[in-house]
Structure 1
């Protein structure tokens, strides 16, 4: 039985004609715990390795899961000091695939997508990994948009307003039930939008799960999952990182636990490193942390909707549950209270 979502014979032929040295036959395996664009490991008979990405199955919301756009962004960023996989090719050929398909290089390293992976590391390794994240963010935010050819990537209107409008619409189009706290959080965020003073490249989904770490020096060697990348306020990415970085004593930690392990730096240390690297004003980071949690709950609800509509979207590790999404919303509400949003 073949891998669901790929015409293995046609995709193999496409890869063979790219001149990347692939030795037939190729094997394909669905990988990753992500619930958005689907990711596949490709291996050839000589030990060569690559990675494929395609959109999820079923009806997609407008502008969502655009792997062609992701291909453009990562290709542009390759010429900077931001660590990313090499984009090799994009195809929309109906003889190969029924949906856009991207082939990229395989990057060797550690992916910490669950607590078990983090448990294999020493406290010193965890600390080095954690501190490399805000340093990598600073690199992303230093990308020269004009030189990279990304000035026209997205609107330059105030980012928070765009985000609230977009994700409120996504919620209405994908929710599986009513969740009043999602609506009330949108109102709270709308009342507290900070003034945006600059526009940079924004990854949009930057956290520990979406990077590959060098096992030698415990630094980021590749940033993954650029599908939410846009132009906006750089502090939004820092808020996103903090949204995935609860501490052991948090009243409402939410579903993420890796950062509570011994060795990982505190949120304050992450912020301090980012400020040292960029000299930016981060006084509004609490707003962006709440917005990231609110957005994450909506993204997870959309993933839940897609698995209900088409079970082929479900990752091998499972998918979002109502309980998990409710936990994210509770953390968003608690964080809004902690940072003084009212």
Structure 2
């Protein structure tokens, strides 16, 4: 969330309406100063904007343009999740206010705390010296954060009302298959195999925890010396469910040096995890198992599903581009990455003992 750009064409907000809303609902804002709006350039799903009035600053988060998948991009749900999580997990941003008034930005939206820090995505910051030790340190921090999240209590909170842990993986598998069918723009020969395999091999979930479900480096901010996290973002898919599904989702973004080029380069530059010293996926799994005490013997299923789920997310984004609902050039070749992910999911499903 440090990649700040001018607002992209077609994604502008009505600055006067936003300004009026802020002054009416957040009394701490100085009324005599103008509002400036810029956009966070990272992220390919929800739209996120930096708001500044004098020294006051915040973040506005809203759904993408055009029709969205059912139950997706639910701003009220994400707002309530953050409201519950922030007091016990401070790296989750503090939400300020939710608006369901469509006349302001054309959709529901919420305003939240603006966190600052260093984004570690495809490169190290220029002031940081790359090393094997640093790669290991960052890997450990990511594992530790996931373990800590999975230890948080959820019973008696709004998360219990917003979630239904029973039958979680069944709903996930069938739900994401339906999303794929609704957003499909071409036939991929491996898709039938992998959807059938996922349905036939659903594991029994033995635990339920709070999960982030989109856990990756470019959803985090770090301190300037990379010694700890200052923020964890994009809680849209967070719920109470199988923690191994969260681990699988994290690993689907965790590329390593010996991965196929199309997997590493599918969304642009390879992620930082391909650098020397970073955990392999196997090392990540082993570290998580040791620190959490959980049985990870079926992790190949969760990783297979995670690759398919990521393929569907990218397919939904490409569908909007294909239909002209967005003109963002980043999405032009997403369909190629979708095919790569489905093919890779197929390969992982066929090698249960070879998660590297």
Q: Tell me the TM-score normalized by structure 2.
A: 0.87
How far residue 285 of structure 1 moved from its aligned partner, in angstroms, is: 1.4
Runs of 4+ in 1 over 4 A off after TM superposition: 117-121, 316-320
The answer to whether the 8 Å contact 1:129/1:213 transfers is: no
- Structure 1: how far apart are the matches of 2:322 and 2:100? 27
Of 113, 133, 157, the residue aligned with 2:142 is 133
> What is the CA distance between 1:303 and its match in structure 2?
0.2
Q: Which residue of 1 aligns with 2:321?
A: 307
SS at match of 1:304: helix
Matches within 5 A, 1:139-178: 139-178=148-187
Cα shift at 1:234: 0.5
In structure 1, what is the equivalent of residue 3 of structure 2? Answer: none
Judge conservation of contact 1:33–1:317 (CA < 8 Å) in 2: no
Q: CA, structure 1 residues 241+98, in 2 after alignment: closer, same or farther (shift >3 Å)?
A: same
User: Take 1:110 and 1:306, find their aligned partners in 2: how far apart are those partners?
Assistant: 31
Q: Is the 8 A contact 1:35 1:319 kept in 2?
A: no
- What corresponds to 2:14 in structure 1? 7
Higher RCO structure (Cα 8 Å, ≥6 apart):
1
User: Residue 108 of structure 1 is aligned with which of 106, 116, 121?
Assistant: 116
Which residue number in structure 2 is paired with residue 220 of structure 1?
A: 229
Quick check: 1:336 aligned with 2:345? no
Tell me how far apart the structure 1 counterparts of residues 331 and 40 of structure 2 sit (CA, whole Å). Answer: 12
Relative to structure 1, the CA distance from residue 38 to residue 217 in structure 2 (aligned partners, 3 Å threshold; closer, same or farther) is: same
Distance 1:74 1:160, change over 3 A: same
SS state of the match for residue 40, structure 1? strand
Q: 1:95 to 1:246 in 2, by over 3 A?
A: closer
Q: Secondary structure at the match of 1:34?
A: coil
Per the TM alignment, residue 252 of structure 1 is displaced from its structure 2 partner at its CA by: 6.6
In structure 1, what is the Cα distance between the partners aligned to 2:81 and 2:264? 30
- C-alpha contact (below 8 Å) 1:77/1:148 kept by paired residues: no
2:292 aligned residue: 278
Q: Which of 71, 88, 92 is matched with 1:84 structurally? A: 92
Q: Is the 8 A contact 1:153 1:230 kept in 2?
A: yes
The alignment covers a number of residue pairs equal to 338
The root-mean-square deviation of aligned C-alpha atoms, in Å, is 2.4
Conservation of the 8 A alpha-carbon contact between 1:300 and 1:320:
no
Whether the 8 Å contact between 1:82 and 1:139 is mirrored in structure 2 is no
Does structure 1 residue 75 correspond to structure 2 residue 88? no
* Structure 2 CA distance for partners of 1:245 and 1:8, relative to 1, 3 Å: same
Structure 1 partner of 2:27: 19
Contact 2:214–2:235 under 8 Å retained in 1: yes
Segments of 5+ residues of structure 1 without an aligned counterpart are: none
Cα drift, residue 317 of structure 1 = 4.9
Q: Is the 8 A contact 2:77 2:236 kept in 1?
A: yes
Select the residue among 282, 289, 297 that pairs with 2:303. 289
C-alpha spacing 1:2/1:154, structure 2 compared with 1 (3 Å): closer
Residue 98 of structure 1, aligned match among 100, 103, 106: 106
The runs of 5 or more residues in structure 2 that have no matched partner are 1-5
Aligned to 2:180, the other structure's residue is in SS state helix
Name the counterpart of 1:266: 280
Using the TM superposition, give the Cα deviation of residue 120 of structure 1 relative to its aligned residue in structure 2, in angstroms: 6.6
Is the contact between residue 68 and residue 90 of structure 1 (CA under 8 Å) also seen in structure 2?
yes
Distance in 2 between the 1:319 and 1:119 partners? 30
Give CA deviations for 1:73-128 in whole Å, capped at 9, x if unaligned: 11110121352111111112244232111111111112233x23578742243332
- Correspondent of 2:58 among 31, 47, 50: 50
Q: Is the 8 A contact 2:139 2:279 kept in 1?
A: yes
Q: Deviations over 1:141-181 (max 9, x none)?
A: 11211243311212222222111111111111111111232
Q: Distance in 2 between matches of 1:267 and 1:53?
A: 32
Deviates more, 1:117-126 or 1:241-250: 117-126
Once the two structures are superposed, residues 43-96 of structure 1 have per-residue CA deviations (whole angstroms, 9 ceiling, x without a partner) of 22x343321110111111210111111111111101213521111111122442
